[in-house]
A and B are shown apart, each in its own frame.
Chain A
Amino acid sequence: MQAKSSHEAELIARVVAGEKDLFHELIRPYERMMYLTVFSIVKNEVEAEDGAQEAVISAYRHLNSFRAEAKFSTWLTTIAINEGRKRLRKAKVAKEDSLDEQIEEREGDYTPAPLTDWREIPLEALERKELREALRGAVADLPDTYRQVFVLRDIEELNIEETAHALRVNAGVVKVRLHRARLMLQKRLAPFLKTMAPTRKWLFGGTR
């Protein structure tokens, strides 16, 4: 990790000093994250790709304003979020302007789905394409603010503090949204997982 970040710091310094082509190498590990971050906001592939490109260009143009005390990945995430929000506002797809620091007052039903006659999803079930599709659909259907937290935290694997910083909300808000997002996904996918997980294998030709 240390080696990675010192290599990264060196690349940044060299790009800023004029070795522009090295930016290709610098940004490569973050391309996926940039796309998924914008996608989590705009929910449209074409718009997300366009936005990710813009965000990467913006990072390139403003690289000299990056301060080493920040984490490069968080800095990039913030740029991607801003680009996504800008596009969302432009498209007037949703009333997202005031999503910062929303009060998590909604009580709602954030309980998981009990899986009574089921123990564990067999690993092979996780290999099923249908399950991945169902998960993509379920994530897309999460409320916007929950989806954004979920994507940063569980897809891009930012920690709580980094997620909070990137979304400009406090850590408590991140935790609440993350918890609710995960339980909503569990609830939504539970019936699906259940039908995919034969509890009595011997019924399907195996030996008892």
Chain B
Amino acid sequence: MAIRGYPMKLECKHVWEHISEYIDGSVGAQLREDIERHLEHCEICSAILDSTRNILILTADNRTFELPVGYSKRLHERLSKEMGSSEKDPKRE
């Protein structure tokens, strides 16, 4: 189907192939423009893009990937112990 004003219609599959790079802002200017035009009229691709983006937002949320309770405390205790023992061994690298 020809779309008014579009020199070339970008297929959904083509958009999906570049979705990750598009999110990262690493697609070229022309491709970016083509993708954006496609998104304007394609609800399916817009939904895919939004959902993928939201997954990444959720991924970056510190509450999603939590550390074990007490991890930091144990780590620094272990580190202090190591610092104490390496004092007795000045030759250690």
Interface stretch (choices B3-11, B31-39, B77-85): B77-85
Partner of A114, one of B44, B82, B83, B92: B44
Q: Are B54 and A121 in contact, with the CB atoms below 8 A?
A: yes
- Interface-located stretch among A1-9, A45-53, A76-84, A86-94: A45-53
B93 in contact with A136 (CB, 8 Å): no
Q: Is A208 an interface residue (CB 8 A)?
A: no
Does B47 lie within 8 Å of A135, measured CB to CB? no
A24 to chain B: closest residue by CB: B76
- Mostly helix, strand, loop or mixed at chain A's interface? helix
Interface residue ranges of A53-83 to B (CB < 8 Å): 53, 56-57, 60-62, 64-65
The interface residues of chain B, by DSSP majority, are classed as helix
- Closest chain-B Cβ to A83's Cβ sits at a distance in Å of 13
Say if the beta carbon of A155 comes within 8 Å of chain B: yes
Q: Are A136 and B64 in contact (CB under 8 A)?
A: yes
Total interface residues on B, CB under 8 Å, equals 44
How long is the Cα–Cα vector from A65 to B71 in the complex, in angstroms?
A: 27
A24 CB contacts on chain B under 8 angstroms: 76, 79-80
Question: Pick the contact of B51 from A121, A154, A175 — CB < 8 Å?
Answer: A121
In the complex with contacts A61-B86, A178-B20, A112-B48 CB distance below 8 A: yes
Tell me how far the C-beta of A149 lies from the nearest C-beta in chain B, rounded to whole angstroms.
11
Bound together, the chains give a CA A53 to CA B67 distance in angstroms of 13
**Docked-complex contact A57 and B79, CB < 8 angstroms:** yes
Q: Which of A60, A64, A132 contacts B63 (CB 8 A)?
A: A132
A121-B51, A186-B51 are known; give 17 further A-B pairs, CB within 8 A: A32-B62, A32-B67, A35-B68, A56-B75, A60-B82, A61-B92, A113-B48, A119-B43, A126-B54, A126-B61, A132-B61, A135-B64, A150-B59, A157-B60, A183-B16, A183-B20, A193-B54
| Interchain Cβ contacts under 8 Å between A and B, 26 examples | A20-B87, A24-B76, A24-B80, A31-B72, A31-B75, A32-B67, A35-B71, A53-B78, A57-B78, A60-B82, A60-B83, A64-B93, A111-B13, A118-B47, A120-B50, A120-B54, A126-B54, A126-B61, A131-B58, A132-B58, A135-B55, A139-B59, A155-B65, A178-B20, A186-B51, A193-B54
- Give the B-binding residues of A (Cβ under 8 A): 20-21, 23-24, 27-28, 31-32, 35-36, 45, 49, 52-53, 56-57, 60-62, 64-65, 111-116, 118-121, 126, 131-132, 135-136, 139, 150, 154-155, 157, 160, 175, 178-179, 182-183, 185-186, 189-190, 193
